[in-house]
Amino acid sequence: MSLKINDPANNASFKTGVIAVVGRPNVGKSTLVNALVGAKVSIVSSKPQTTRHRILGVRTEADAQYIFADTPGFQTQYKSALNSAMNRTVTQALAEVDVVLWLVEARKFTAADQRILPLLPRDKPVVLVVNKIDLVEEKNKLLPFLESMAQQFKFAEIVPLSAEKEKDALRLPAILKPYLPEGEAWFGEDDITDRSSRFLAAEIVREKVFRLTGDEIPYVVAVTVEQFEEDGAMFRIGVVIWVDRDGHKPIVLGRGGEHIKRIASEARVDMEKLFDRKVFLQVWVKVKGGWADDSRLIKQFGYE
C-alpha cells in the first residue's frame, strides 16, 4: 500500500512532530537516528564529538511523520569556538521541538550526563532512552539503574534499548506517536533528511577520518566540498580535508599516501550506496591553522 501523506482524508489524524535527540558525546544518538530513518543520514564513530551539526532525519509512516533532530554531543570539558557553536546547536534544538529524547548509556551515568539535566525542558515531554543495553551482561543490574534515573526527572517514558539493533530501535516510533501534535507532513514521503548531497558527501569523508586516524587528528579536521557535479550517470566529487597544522598533513596522508587512499576509497563506497550511483571522488589535504578556535572560519566551514 502506498502512503498518501497529503490526502485530506488522512490529515484529520495525521501527526507531525520534531523530536530532538540529545545527550553527552558518544552515547549513540546518531546510531539511533539512522536506525529510525532506515539510512545513514548522520555519521557514526567510536570517538566522542563525531556529530557537529543539527541534522534532521525523517521517518514517514502512513499516519505520522517523525522529524528527528540529531545534535552534537553536549560537552563542557573543552572550550573552543567549535565546541561553543556545537553546544549552541544543542540548546537551540531543545527550544524548537515538540518532544525531547535524552540518551544515556546503560549503567554509565557520568558527570557529563548530569550536566544535561538542567537543559531539559519542563514544559515538553522528555523521553529517556537508556542505550547500549547489550553491553550490560547482568540484566538484573538494569532495573536499579532505570529506577535511579526515574528519580532524576519527570520523564514521559523510559525506554531501554540497543540502538544498534534495528528491531529494538523501531519500538520507539509507537512510543513517541502519542506525544506528536496533529499536523500535515513537512517533508515528502521519500525525503530522509534536510541536508544536501553535498553536505552528506563531506560528512562521509569526515567519518572516515574519524574512523581511520588516531586520537588527535579527528578534532583538527574540517571537510569542505569543492566540486560536486553530475557527469552522465555519475557524480564527480572533490573534497578538501582541512587540518590545523603542517605537521598533521603527513599523518592524514600516511606513508606513500596509504591513509588518504583508504579514506577516499571507503568514502566512495559509502557515497555510492547513499546516492545510488557511481562516484568519482578526489580528496586533497590542506592546512588552515587554528580553524577550530577561529569563529570566522567556523562559519566558513559551515558550523554556525
Ligand X SMILES: Nc1nc2c(ncn2[C@@H]2O[C@H](COP(=O)(O)OP(=O)(O)OP(=O)(O)O)[C@@H](O)[C@H]2O)c(=O)[nH]1
Which residue ranges make up the site for ligand X (CB under 6 A)? 23, 25-31, 44-46, 48-51, 72-73, 131-132, 134-135, 162-164
Q: Of the two residues 168 and 203, which places its CB atom closer to Mg ion in the complex?
A: 203
> What are the grid coordinates assigned to 244, written together?
590545523
Residue 213's nearest CA partner among 250, 170, 240 is 250
Among 51, 60, 65, 75, indicate the residue that binds Mg ion (CB under 5 A): 51
Least distance in Å: CB of 30 to ligand X? 3
173 binds, among ligand X, Mg ion, none (CB under 5 to 8 A by kind): none
Residue 232 DSSP class: T
83 binds, among Mg ion, ligand X, none (CB under 5 to 8 A by kind): none
Classify burial at 197, counting beta carbons within 10 Å of its beta carbon; exposed 0-12, middle 13-18, buried 19 or more: middle
Least distance in Å: CB of 280 to ligand X? 28
Cβ neighbours of 13 (radius 10 Å): 9
Q: Of the two residues 30 and 83, which places its CB atom closer to Mg ion in the complex?
A: 30
Does residue 30 bind Mg ion (CB under 5 A)? yes
Q: Of the two residues 35 and 97, which places its CB atom closer to ligand X in the complex?
A: 35
Does residue 75 bind Mg ion (CB under 5 A)? no
Q: Quick one: which segment of 21-29, 98-106, 262-270, 283-291 binds Mg ion (CB under 5 A)?
A: 21-29
Q: Are 242 and 289 in contact (CB under 8 A)?
A: no
**Separation of alpha carbons 302 and 299, rounded Å:** 5
Please state whether beta strands 222-231 and 55-61 pair in parallel, antiparallel, or not at all (unpaired).
unpaired
Q: Of the two residues 31 and 60, which places its CB atom closer to ligand X in the complex?
A: 31
> Helix, strand, or coil here: 130?
strand
Least distance in Å: CB of 236 to Mg ion? 28
Least distance in Å: CB of 188 to Mg ion? 25
209 binds, among ligand X, Mg ion, none (CB under 5 to 8 A by kind): none
Q: Residue with C-alpha cell 536506525?
A: 35
Q: Are 155 and 186 in contact (CB under 8 A)?
A: no
E strand residue ranges, the chain: 15-22, 55-61, 64-70, 99-105, 126-131, 157-160, 222-231, 234-243, 279-287
- Residue 158, CA atoms < 13 Å, CB-side half-sphere: 18
Does residue 193 bind Mg ion (CB under 5 A)? no
> What are the grid coordinates assigned to 14, written together?
495525521
164 binds, among ligand X, Mg ion, none (CB under 5 to 8 A by kind): ligand X
Q: Of the two residues 132 and 248, which places its CB atom closer to ligand X in the complex?
A: 132
Q: Of the two residues 65 and 89, which places its CB atom closer to Mg ion in the complex?
A: 89
Beta-carbon contacts of 62 under 8 Å, excluding residues fewer than 6 positions away, are 1, 3, 10
Residue least distant from ligand X (Cβ)? 73
Give the binding site for Mg ion (CB under 5 A): 29-30, 50-51
